[in-house]
Amino acid sequence: MKRKLIANSLLGIVIGTTIGLWMSVIFSLVFAEGGYAPAPPIFTDRYSNPLQAMVISILLWSAIGVLFTLSGLIFSETDWSITKMTVIHLLVTYVIFLPLAMACGWLSLALPTILGFTALFLLIYLIMWLISMQIAKKQVAALNQRLKNTNDKK
């Protein structure tokens, strides 16, 4: 288990950093008119030099990556019901991702922004829950079909 935590954390750092890097490049392409910025000005204005801003950005991207890979273990390592896993994953990710996104300069403290973010979050999790339940229903149907087949053969 400990090995899984370490392996997943490392994976999280790598994936988070890579996604963060490419997203910042895409955003820079669209908004920064030829320059490059790891995050919106709200963020970069906080720091005295570009290198500092970059290093902090990379650390934050890594943290976000680790958040998602570790919380993913909720789904792979536990035997909880789909509802329980989804709810706990939602809570863990929301509580940690919100401040991280703010630290990155992606979210402001304005109430409408926070409400919008929360609504989007809830919607995504609702969809995830519905899909998981559908998949499980199909699995159960398949198992029952096989059960019927073996019993019919007897």
Partner 1 sequence: MKVTVTLDEKLPENELILQTKEKTDAINTIVAYIEDTPKTLTGKIGKKHVMVPVNEFTRFYSSQKKVYGEAGQQEFVLSYRLYELEKLLPPRFVRISNTEIIHLDHVAQFQLSQGGLILIALTNGQQTSSSRRYLKKVKERLQ
Using CB under 8 A, list all residues that contact partner 1: 79, 81-85, 132-133, 136-137, 139-140, 142-144, 146-147, 150
**What is the Cα–Cα distance from 30 to 24, expressed in whole angstroms?**
10
Kindly tell me which of 60 and 85 has the beta carbon lying closer to partner 1. 85
Kindly tell me which of 77 and 113 has the beta carbon lying closer to partner 1. 77
Kindly tell me which of 2 and 48 has the beta carbon lying closer to partner 1. 2
| Smallest separation (angstroms) from partner 1 to the CB of 15 | 23
In the chain, helix, strand, coil percent, each to 5? 80, 0, 20
**What is the Cα–Cα distance from 22 to 32, expressed in whole angstroms?**
14
| Smallest separation (angstroms) from partner 1 to the CB of 79 | 4
**What is the Cα–Cα distance from 83 to 89, expressed in whole angstroms?**
10
Tell me the two tokens of residue 81.
Answer: 């019901």
Kindly tell me which of 18 and 144 has the beta carbon lying closer to partner 1. 144
H or E element at residue 77:
helix 50-77
| Smallest separation (angstroms) from partner 1 to the CB of 80 | 8
Tell me the two tokens of residue 4.
Answer: 């899984």
| Smallest separation (angstroms) from partner 1 to the CB of 129 | 8
